[in-house]
């Protein structure tokens, strides 16, 4: 793993911020949310296996669709945040 950190860009710090906090706290949060986490991890594993299969089969259309969906999801998320911020600003005047 140390060699991987040599290639980490600036966004890696933000993406891994939680890893810098208390392991005991996250252990407790994980155990308290065990059922939900197991459900989400299982769903994530299904998607990882699906994506792995696409890579093995060189399914360029399938891979592109995954990234297009991710792009659209991010766009929708940022648009919702910007709308909420505008509404808060307009309501706060």
Quick: pLDDT tens for 32-64: 999 999 999 999 999 999 999 999 999 999 999
pLDDT (average), residues 74-91: 93
Q: What is the domain partition of the chain in residue ranges?
A: 2-92
- What is the pTM assigned to this prediction? 0.71
Q: Which residue reads 């005991």 in tokens?
A: 24
The three-class DSSP label of residue 2 is helix
Tokens (6 digits) for 30: 């994980």
């Amino acid at each position: 793993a140390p060699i991987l950190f040599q290639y980490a860009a600036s966004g890696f710090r933000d993406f891994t911020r939680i890893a810098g906090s208390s392991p005991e706290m996250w252990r407790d949060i994980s155990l308290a949310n065990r059922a939900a986490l197991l459900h989400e991890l299982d769903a994530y594993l299904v998607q990882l296996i699906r994506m792995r299969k696409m890579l093995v089969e060189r399914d360029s259309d399938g891979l592109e669709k995954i990234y297009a969906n991710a792009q659209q999801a991010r766009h929708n998320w940022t648009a919702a945040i910007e709308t909420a911020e505008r509404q808060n600003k307009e309501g706060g005047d």
